[in-house]
Amino acid sequence: MTPKQLAFLGTFLIGLAIPAPATAIPAFARKYKVSCMLCHNPVPKLTAFGEQFAANGFRFTSGEAPRDTINTGDPLLELAKEFPLAMRLDAYAQAYSGGRAATDFQTPYGLKIMSSGTISKKLSYYFYTFLAERGEIGGVEDALIQINDIGGKPIDVVVGQFQVSDPLFKRELRLEFEDYAVYRARLGDSPVDLTYDRGIVVTADLAGFGLTGQLLNGNGAGAGQDNRRFDQDPFKSVFFHISRDFGEIVHLGTFGYTGRTESAGVRSRTGMFGVDATIGGKTFELNGQYIHRTESRPTFTAGEAEASLDGGFAELIVRPPRSRWYGFGLYNVVSADRPLLNVRLGGPAGVDRYETLSVGFGRVERRNFRWTLEATYDVKQEVARWGLGFVTPF
């Protein structure tokens, strides 16, 4: 290990000793008249109560009647007195090493509008759209209808657009600026990754196990074609995840993904399997993900050899009780068996490895305003990035 890498590792280990507390997205806090910290610690990271609140269809309890509705005189129509709306603003100032030093004001980095509400005791909706995303007009990302407790059983269904990786770890709720790279990694020209897609999700609790199945278009959430079809081929993809809690501090899961895509008459089969784990949850939380992926024809060329990648991440979050400080560390690595790796927004296409080490800390100044300081070292390119920013929902 070079002196530069040793120095960065030292900074990483020091950073992990720095603390954390609470914050939130206000649409639900306004509705229920509670503090944002009930569901977030810190914003946008969910607490256990926040996870259950979302699973209940954004209600305190499953099957809860809609609150703050107007009397329409129609038993089949329940309308909120006020349309639930919230905003989130992210802004950063970044500095980069490598070549010549550079600085960049990324303000706003993201500006999104969010809404969620209940339609009936079992129906709810959620969506958010970017008014600005990395300097451009964004678009709709999550947009879904959720149905809870089908047939009176612990079975829920979601229909719409969502992130395939949500049952594993939720990218949009991470504390880091650096992403979970393995979820957006692609092989060659294949459109498949574990970020946004369209389809159906079914979740169920069975004998202590959490089960999730997804039926997906399998080609992401891009724009429709000239014929107004979103799916670019006749195939669907299938994702399945099973998880279980062991006591209050260990959560283990495993998943599989299979699907086919077609381009210019050539078909490629995608296969993935992986394991995920969480240890801890309050003061310290250690998260881990491993994924192995294969692509039978990664560039849609007849007769080409199968390609594969292996990747994952390890994440440590530190949130001391009754403290407004928080700290985090994230190690990313994705490696392909040839230069076909495309990690979107995280480096050049056509590389065979992506590896970064990030460390950061911050402080919650208000329940809905936190600032963060983060350093990331790219091991492959031997460059570093430092960033100071804030996140505020309102």
Number of domains in the chain: 1
Band the pLDDT of 344: cuts 50, 70, 90: low
**Can you tell me the distance from the alpha carbon of 195 to that of 187, in angstroms, rounded to the nearest whole number?**
14
Give the domain range for residue 373: 3-71+79-393
pLDDT tens, 90-138? 999 999 997 677 999 999 999 999 998 889 989 999 999 999 998 888 8
Contacts 24+ apart (CB under 8 A), 65-70: 65/121, 66/117, 66/118, 66/119, 66/120, 66/121, 67/31, 67/32, 67/118, 68/31
Contact partners, residue 106, CB within 8 Å, separation at least 6: 91, 92, 93, 94, 134, 135, 389
Return the number of other C-beta atoms located less than 10 Å from residue 329's C-beta.
20
Residue 17 has pLDDT above 60, yes or no: no
Provide, rounded to the nearest whole percent, the portion of the chain with pLDDT above 70: 91
pLDDT tens, 381-390? 899 999 999 9
Band the pLDDT of 209: cuts 50, 70, 90: very high
In sign, the C-alpha dihedral spanning 257, 278, 12, 374 is positive
Helix or strand (DSSP H, E) at 125: strand 123-133
Q: What integer is the mean pLDDT of 143-159? A: 94
Highest mean pLDDT among 23-37, 61-75, 79-93, 318-332: 318-332
Instruction: Provide the pLDDT for residue 20.
Output: 32
Band the pLDDT of 16: cuts 50, 70, 90: very low
Q: What integer is the mean pLDDT of 226-252? A: 92
Instruction: Provide the pLDDT for residue 22.
Output: 31
Residue 372 has pLDDT above 90, yes or no: yes
84 or 290, greater pLDDT: 290
Return the number of other C-beta atoms located less than 10 Å from residue 104's C-beta.
12
359 or 4, greater pLDDT: 359
Helix or strand (DSSP H, E) at 11: helix 3-15
- Contact present, 82 and 69 (Cβ < 8 Å): no
- Contact present, 292 and 274 (Cβ < 8 Å): yes
The CATH number covering residue 317 comes to: 2.40.160.10
Provide, rounded to the nearest whole percent, the portion of the chain with pLDDT above 90: 64
pLDDT tens, 303-312? 999 999 999 9
Q: Which tokens in the block code for residue 160?
A: 């719409």
- Contact present, 169 and 180 (Cβ < 8 Å): yes
Q: What integer is the mean pLDDT of 342-350? A: 67
Q: What integer is the mean pLDDT of 280-292? A: 94
